[in-house]
Amino acid sequence: MARIQITGGVPLNGTVEISGAKNAVLPILMASLLTDQPCQLHGVPHLKDVTTSIELLGRMGVLVSVGDRCAVGLDASGLHTQVAPYDLVKTMRASILVLGPLLARSGEAQVSLPGGCAIGARPVDLHLAGLSAMGADITVEGGYIKARAKRLKGARVVLDTVTVTGTENILMAATLAEGTTVIENAAQEPEVVDLAECLISMGARIRGHGSNTIVVEGRERLDGFDYTVIPDRIEAGTFLVAAAMTGGRVRTDNVRPDTLDAVLGKLRDAGAVITTGEDWIELDMQGRRPRAVDITTAPYPGFPTDMQAQFTALNAIADGTGVVRENVFENRFMHVLELQRLGANLLIEGNTVIIRGVERLTGAPLMATDLRASAGLVLAGLVAEGDTIVDRVYHIDRGYENIEEKLRQLGARVRRLAA
């Protein structure tokens, strides 16, 4: 299994280009199922989850062509199977995003239940409840969700918990339903907004996206799209934290600063000097050690759970004590025990980690456990003395495009070790 070796101690310096947002690309790729017209998506990052999505769509009969400059063409006119099989769903929970579009366009869908996940139970009950409210007949048999509906009907769907992919599934289904759907307590994440904008470009009638109430008037059919995805705010945030931890100065290009307010606020609290332009952010730590910061994760516009592990790593070497509260997912502290192996001082109490910053960490072999936890470990490796080797980097490859190459551009001593 491939590993990444990091020799710590270099302040990062330079400019890095941020890729398209994984969490916007995945639902938009699945939105191609809503139409028999050709679609083009630009700014698609080269990631394992993107490859998995393309494979999933291909198995259903979608023609996929990968072009130059991160463009992907999709043509679902020959859709012949409405099944998302276990072997793919188990490697990527976001496969559940085919459920709404398939059901809305074909009247049926069979999607393997994703099952447990390294970061907590992560059920899909709210996706199913929403589609049931729209008239779908849903059963679970042999590990598969089997859904049928002649034509979905608009409904009022109140989500008990804010769910990102749940909102996206119901939103996509509603675009082809008969009548008006109102999604209440909807997720407000920029990636949900991006999906809605893409759907609007296909002719969907949607308003309220970006607020907690989304209203969709269903249409008989949708056109194709030619759309460019938003930049990845989590990738950008990760590089900025890396700069802050190493006392460096880094500019991220191709970013949307307005989607990073909560993260930039915490980086400023940590002592970083931050300047922003329309599509760039520069962080200058001026060689200082970061101050500890308290974090509480929450749905957007709150502090993103996908940045929690990176800030836990920052607190590990910060001046003072930081308290990190994880409110979105249970069991998302897999990185904590690994950070202790580098000499970090952390204590888990329920959904909270108390981190007493230490002056130095020392390199050690580590095991990546999930996507964002792995990013936290790589960041810690950048400041640890000596060599840190992060094993199971396939987790990182699910969500970060060329992470070691981008870090190297900024001066980090990072290399991938072959399996």
Please give the positions annotated as active site: 117
Q: Taking a C-beta distance cutoff of 8 angstroms, is the pair 239, 249 a contact?
A: no
* Shortest distance (Å) from residue 350 CB to ligand UD1: 15
Q: Distances in Å between the alpha carbon of 405 and those of 50, 207, 339, 383, 402?
A: 19, 40, 23, 18, 5
Interface with ligand UD1 includes 26 (CB under 6 A)?
yes
Q: Of the ranges 56-64, 100-108, 125-133, 203-211, which one interacts with ligand UD1 (CB under 6 A)?
A: 125-133
Q: Of the ranges 50-58, 60-68, 117-125, 388-396, which one interacts with ligand UD1 (CB under 6 A)?
A: 117-125
* Shortest distance (Å) from residue 235 CB to ligand UD1: 12
* Shortest distance (Å) from residue 291 CB to ligand UD1: 26
Neighbour tally for 51: CB within 10 Å: 14
Interface with ligand UD1 includes 164 (CB under 6 A)?
yes
Q: Total residues contacting ligand UD1 (rule CB under 6 A)?
A: 22
Residue 359 sits at φ, ψ, to 5 deg, of -75, -30
- Identify the residue among 60, 99, 124, 270 touching ligand UD1 (CB under 6 A): 124
Interface with ligand UD1 includes 194 (CB under 6 A)?
no
- Identify the residue among 95, 305, 315, 374 touching ligand UD1 (CB under 6 A): 305
d(CA 249, CA 275): 11
Name the strand (E) or helix (H) holding 65: strand 63-66
Between strands 63-66 and 156-158, the pairing is unpaired
Given CA atoms 86, 101, 190, 405 in this order, what sign does their dihedral have?
A: positive
3 state DSSP class of 371: helix
- Looking at beta carbons only, is 326 or 404 nearer to ligand UD1? 326
- Looking at beta carbons only, is 102 or 371 nearer to ligand UD1? 371
What residues have CB less than 8 Å from 123, skipping those under 6 apart?
Answer: none
- Identify the residue among 15, 81, 139, 161 touching ligand UD1 (CB under 6 A): 161
Rounded to 5°, the CA angle 369-373-374 comes to 75
- Looking at beta carbons only, is 77 or 184 nearer to ligand UD1? 184
* Shortest distance (Å) from residue 129 CB to ligand UD1: 8
Nearest to 31 by CA among 76, 80, 93, 85: 76
Between strands 213-217 and 205-207, the pairing is antiparallel
Strand partners, 177: none
- Identify the residue among 9, 107, 123, 302 touching ligand UD1 (CB under 6 A): 123
Residues 312-341 as x/- pattern, contact with ligand UD1 by CB under 6 A: ----------------xx------------
Binding site for ligand UD1 (CB under 6 A): 23, 26, 93-94, 120-127, 161, 163-166, 191, 305-306, 328-329
